[in-house]
Structure 1
Amino acid sequence: MVNKVVPLALLALLCICAAPATGRQLLDADTLEAEAHGVDGKYKNDKPLIGILTQACHFCPGRSYVAAGFVKWIEAAGGRAVPIRFYASDNELHRLFKSVNGIIFPGGLTDIWLDNPYVIAARKLWTWAREANDAGDVFPIWGTCLGFQLLHVLEANVSFTELLIRTDSVGHASTLDLTEAAPSSALFGGISPHLARKVADPALNITMENHYFGLPPEHYRRWGVLGEAFTVVSTTRDRVGVEYISTAEHRRYPFFATQWHPEKPPYEFGMKAIPHSLDAVLVSQHLANVFVDTARRSGHEPESHEEELVMLIYNTKPYFTLKDSVMDRSYDGPDMTYFFDSKDDAPDNGLRGAEPRGSTSFAGRVYRGQEAPHLTAWA
């Protein structure tokens, strides 16, 4: 009996003795994070709402969609997602802007011509965000991949065909070459040193690139407004050595841009190239925390609690779209997808009794008698 009690007592003593040191370590880490992120401790809310701008899809059960990976990425950092339809009226766009605490321009295959309705809607949200920040009303924007490019198109106000170049970066797990600005940046200033080293290690390749186009560093000089507006935090090279900017931060506003996909490692499994190591997931979680923590400083809120509940993406059922190619042929097909404004009312998710349970495949019923142009499985 004594032999059992003594080890337990020693274990308890060790835990008590270790507690103060651990507490100091956590306090120091919190202090460093707060300094790196510029967080002043004066949060305006502790459950931020993050708007995600939907994108058009032509061969799917809806008018627009949001990849569920972005929703989960937000949730992992303590936020909640709100879909923002790019075709909403100006009044609706502004109402949603005043209700959410940050916005994501996600990755995808949408055309970003200056006169595209998607870009026009994004410009309105971007303009309101700039005006809000100028007035002291903190409002962050995050751009991933296409969203990275969109933020730069909006800033330079030039066609993406002029601004971007072709890159061989589809399905390319790669590295980030952090610049001298990275240690003082919001995104990487608070990251652990070992993760900062690992994102640059070509033996690990823990960041996911997946794009046809890229923005070369020299274009920050060609369009001086970009060099004045953004700080280059990292660059990356594609498979043939072409260099492009992979991470950028706005100098004046809390606008963050990654050409790579931090949301994919924890939540997307359909593409074999996506890294799923612990390091890749930790980097993803770190960036989500930076963004959502910035959104906690926003004072925007819905008009009522009832309106808040209506806004949330939880009112829409996600589809397991990895099983079927229901959108345009895409190298970026998400594992799970939210569709909005179906041509035939709300999409049947196999839960309404319209057909036997056990299959939620779109094949043979989305096109209503029309021949499906491509029903190939995603890689």
Structure 2
Amino acid sequence: MVSSVVLFGLLLALLANAAPPVDYNLRPIIGILSQKPPKSVLDVLDDKNYTSYIAASYVKYIEGSGARAVPILINQEDSYYEKIASSVNGILFPGGAVSITNSSGYGSAGQILYDHVVRANMDGIYMPLWGTCLGFEMITYLAAHKQKWLKRCHASNKADQLTLQEGYMDSRIFDQMPADVIDYVSHLNTTVNFHTWCMTPENFTESGLIEDFKVLATSFDYDDLEYVALIEHNEMPIFGSQFHPEKNPYEWPNDEGHSAIPHDPYSVGVAHYFSNFFVNQARYNTQKFMTEEEETEALIYNYNSTFTGALGSSFTECYLFR
């Protein structure tokens, strides 16, 4: 019964934009930014010579909504990022534990990709970007002219409902969200958090970000500090969530430090709504690689995932790159 309700809600979300335009992209590709592997990942591997990784949950997250993934490697030439950004149909900044400044490969590549997304949209190319957790934080940092407005908080391993903000329905995300899914996110603990830095509503306003972005929802940490949980750009298809929707269906760690991940049908349905929404945004972008050979060489299928969860990592699977 529950599953059918969730699936029906997701079907409504997919049909929200009935009669898609003629150039609607039925083969969307999402570029997912990699980052330096944390010690917790390298410690469980015999081979320590990997330079970047992507948690496989992000790949499955977008594949489950009908898109393909291209890994975006770190520490490459600027031309590499411009080429990737001009070939894919959307970009995902995943969560993680590295610097959001250009002192890290993730932060340096993120700045180039973010600037490309902004330029593309200003030039009339519909180019969606989603940032999750650390990716959300990097978007706020870059959009605030490379100024950090984050505050220390205590919100790791915590599942929450979203506190919807005034005007939340005046957004792409919620305008297309079925009423039952809105009920799930606002009344049930369907979103899970793993972060120690927060963007408070006060800092979001003081930073000037409120002029370009809508705060759609907030959450509260263990000390009842309210922080921004979900944002959307006023004009461009740029979105950010402090929570991790990819974990609900695809992460199964055994340690107590990750026990809050909700796997119930409501939470999984909410996660799929967000992935469906983002992939559907990417369908409005019709960019493609110059040749089929280039596309094939870029896809994630050229790499094998590693069952890192069996080795003791908090990530069930990871893609590792040299």
TM-score (norm 2): 0.88
Question: 2:127 aligns to what?
Answer: 139
Contact 2:152/2:196, CA 8 A, preserved across alignment: yes
CA distance in 1, matches of 2:291, 2:36: 29
Q: Deviations over 1:28-54 (max 9, x none)?
A: 94797128xxx9534442111100010
Of 259, 264, 267, the residue aligned with 2:250 is 267
Following the alignment from structure 2 to structure 1, what is the Cα–Cα distance between the partners of residues 31 and 161? Answer: 29
After TM superposition, the structure 1 = structure 2 runs for residues 28-47 of structure 1, keeping only pairs within 5 Å, are 29=12, 33-34=16-17, 41-47=21-27
Q: 1:125-274, aligned counterparts within 5 Å? A: 125-160=113-148, 163-201=149-187, 204-224=188-208, 226-270=209-253, 271-274=258-261
Q: Rg: which structure is higher?
A: 1
Runs of 4+ in 1 over 6 A off after TM superposition: none
1:317 aligns with 2:304: yes
| CA-to-aligned-CA distance 1:266-306 (integer Å, 9 cap, x gap) | 10111321001111111111111111111111121011111
Shift of 1:88: 1.4
User: Which amino acid in 2 is paired with 1:252?
Assistant: E
- The offset of 1:58, in angstroms, is 5.6
Q: Does 1:66 align with 2:54?
A: yes
Cα distance in 1, alignment partners of residues 112 and 52 from structure 2:
19
Deviation at 1:325, TM superposition (A): 4.5
Q: Deviations over 1:114-158 (max 9, x none)?
A: 543422211111111111111111110000000000000000124
CA distance in 2, matches of 1:55, 1:117: 7
Q: Residue 103 of structure 1 aligns to which amino acid in structure 2?
A: I
What secondary structure does 1:45 align onto? coil
Structure 1, unaligned stretches of length 5 or more? 1-24, 327-332, 342-379
CA pair 124-280 structure 1, distance change in 2 beyond 3 A: same
Which of 336, 339, 345 aligns to 2:320? It is 339
Q: Give the percent of matched residue pairs that are identical in Structure 1 and Structure 2.
A: 35
What is the aligned residue count? 302
Residue pair 1:199, 1:205 contacting (<8 A) in 2 also: yes
Q: Distance in 2 between matches of 1:29 and 1:309?
A: 33
- Aligned equivalents of 1:235, 1:151: Cα separation in 2: 17
* In structure 2, C-alpha distance between the alignment counterparts of 1:31 and 1:123, rounded to whole Å: 31
Counterpart amino acid of residue 185 in structure 2:
V
Q: 1:72 to 1:273 in 2, by over 3 A?
A: same
Secondary structure of residue in 2 paired with 1:188: helix
Task: Determine which structure has greater relative contact order: mean sequence separation of CA pairs < 8 Å that are 6+ residues apart, divided by chain length.
Answer: 2
Q: Give the 3-state SS of the residue equivalent to 2:76 in structure 1.
A: coil
Contact persistence 1:114–1:157 (CA under 8 A): no
Q: How high is the TM-score relative to the length of structure 1?
A: 0.76
Gaps of 5+ in 2: 1-7, 43-47
Instruction: Check conservation: 1:52, 1:81, Cα contact below 8 A.
Output: yes
